[in-house]
Amino acid sequence: MRDRARELLAMQPIVEGKPMAMLALARQLPAIGQRALALDMIRRALALAPSDGEVRALATELLSDGVHTWHFSIVRDEARNRVYDTALRNAIFPGCTVLEIGTGTGLLAMMAARAGAARVITCEVDPAVAAAARDNIAVNGFADRVTVVNKHSTRLELGDVGGQADILVSEIVSNDLLSEGALPAHEDAVPRLLKPGGAVIPVRGRIRIALMDDGGAAQPDLGLIDSFDLSAFNRLRRPYRDIPVGSPAITLRSAATDLFAFDFANGPWRGDRCETRIASQGGRVTGVVQWIALDLDDREHYENHPGPGAASCWGAIFWPFARPVMSAPGEYLAIGACHERNRVRIWLG
């Protein structure tokens, strides 16, 4: 590995000034732990040939590698943006310092600065995302108050923040609330980087569920395909399906219920399991649908409740039963669930 690293680094002066050769080398640098150097080389290659379509295509491919596509959708969720902006305005006071976990595009950090924060420290582990966010922040005139630190939040030191912050804001929740590491990030940051009693935005998160009929829209298990039995492959299928919250296939068969709830200001959390009984409204039930609800503070709330016409940057998650249940109105179905701090599982009890 060390020999390979030396070989690749020795290529730098040879490829310098040759855009396609620079990009070819940049493609290999992340494998030896040199992603930051690769990004710098990509930017310089683009600057050398701004009108070369092939250079731009390859550079864009390399820059976007590993960058989640949801960065481009979450910022278009106007309801999400509105509740975050209002909660920040409710919490910010003159002279305060805001710490953000997960910079992304820089939108929430700029909202905090616009709302009057004296300083905003925002951390981002991906160097490409951090660099793009810095450019966004600079072009919008907030570079004097917003600092992007290219570190994971657990690697931040008090010196990076300038002492403990007054307010902690994040948007590191996924469709299932947990799989982006919201719990361990808050367990670390709240006691270490936030002043005692400081505001946490969002302060609470809940995982909600309801019984659902998907109308047979879920792709069925494999069976006979072109006269071949492919059913053994079904054991490799995920036990859940991602669905848009506004999918016309969603017919709820029960009221919503909270499955797990987390106060982000008061960790730590252990894995947990539960069984809940949900009263059906009657009719066919093919599974359980799961979604999230956020309390930004005690006044501002966001929920991607599924149903016809609903819209959200977060999708819902459908956990199909092995076979449909024909339920009577008022009949209770036992639903089991567990979480392991970074993922959720749901099943028919």
Give residue 340's pLDDT.
Answer: 94
Give residue 167's pLDDT.
Answer: 98
Segment 192-220 shows an average pLDDT of: 93
Give me the domains of the chain, ranges plus CATH numbers: 18-64 (no CATH), 71-171 (3.40.50.150), 205-348 (2.70.160.11)
Give residue 60's pLDDT.
Answer: 93
Query: Strands, E, within 102-142: which ranges?
Result: 119-123
Considering the chain, what percentage of its residues have pLDDT values greater than 90?
Answer: 88
Nearest-10 Cα torsion for 23, 29, 30, 34:
-120
Spatial CB neighbours of 38, under 8 Å, sequence gap ≥ 6: 26, 27, 29, 30, 62
Using one digit for the tens of pLDDT, what is the confidence trace for 30-79? 999 898 899 999 999 999 999 999 999 999 999 998 888 889 999 999 99
Confidence band, pLDDT 50/70/90 cuts, at residue 108: very high
The residue from 100, 124, 171, 187 that is catalytic is 171
pLDDT at 84 over 90: yes
Confidence band, pLDDT 50/70/90 cuts, at residue 250: very high
pLDDT at 325 over 90: yes
140: phi then psi, degrees, rounded to nearest 5: -95, 5
- Verify whether residue 331 is a known catalytic residue: no
pLDDT at 163 over 80: yes
Distance of alpha carbon 148 from alpha carbon 146, whole angstroms: 7
Confidence band, pLDDT 50/70/90 cuts, at residue 5: confident
Segment 232-240 shows an average pLDDT of: 91
CA distances from 219 to 1, 134, 237 (A): 44, 43, 11
- Verify whether residue 300 is a known catalytic residue: no
Give residue 234's pLDDT.
Answer: 87
The residue from 100, 124, 180, 303 that is catalytic is 180
